[in-house]
Amino acid sequence: MLAVASSVEAYIPHRGAMRFIDRLVSLGPEHVVVEADVRAEQLFVQGEQLPAWVGVELMAQTIAAWAGGQALGRGEPVRIGFLLGTRRYTADCTGFSVGTVLTIEARAELVADNGLGMFACRILAAGVELARAHVSVFEPKDGQSYLQELEGTGA
């Protein structure tokens, strides 16, 4: 289990403006904890807040960090995955204030051999829970081939 803060870039495929999480804090077989710095120049920031609905993407990228850590632990490359949806996303605020360090946690509830997964997630600031959801994801064995297959079917 990784227990020290480190850059998250080695664990996720997200780059540039599409990367919303910053540091990997803790990683285990069934959990991951990351941190995200809410910055004024970030994509989607309105006024002094990152809208609460972006929390779903923060959770998805946290799950991506978990999946990347699992792959690297097996000696495999980090692969792309897909956010399928959320159940019961609830936020106790309208947005996350610029300058806030968010802690995002995800715990694997189900990870199937076919790449489907369900994670219980939450977002905290200064130890106070601000949002929670169950997030469904899919990680195909070969993401690029999967995307090409979808393009060929017109899906």
Residue 89 lies in a domain: yes
Averaged confidence pLDDT in the chain: 91
Q: Which residues contact 8 (CB under 8 A, 6 or more apart)?
A: 19, 21, 22, 23, 24, 34, 65
Q: How many structural domains comprise the chain?
A: 1
* pLDDT at residue 151 in the model: 73
Note whether residue 73 is domain-resident. yes
> In CATH, what number is assigned to the domain containing residue 110?
3.10.129.10
- What confidence tier does 146 reach under pLDDT thresholds 50, 70, 90? low
pTM over 0.85: yes
Determine the structural domain holding residue 136 and report its residue range. Answer: 6-153
Instruction: Grade residue 42 by pLDDT with cuts at 50, 70 and 90.
Output: very high
* pLDDT computed for residue 4 by the predictor: 47
> Residue 1 domain-assigned?
no
Q: What is the pLDDT of residues 52-77, one digit of tens each?
A: 999 999 999 999 999 999 999 999 99
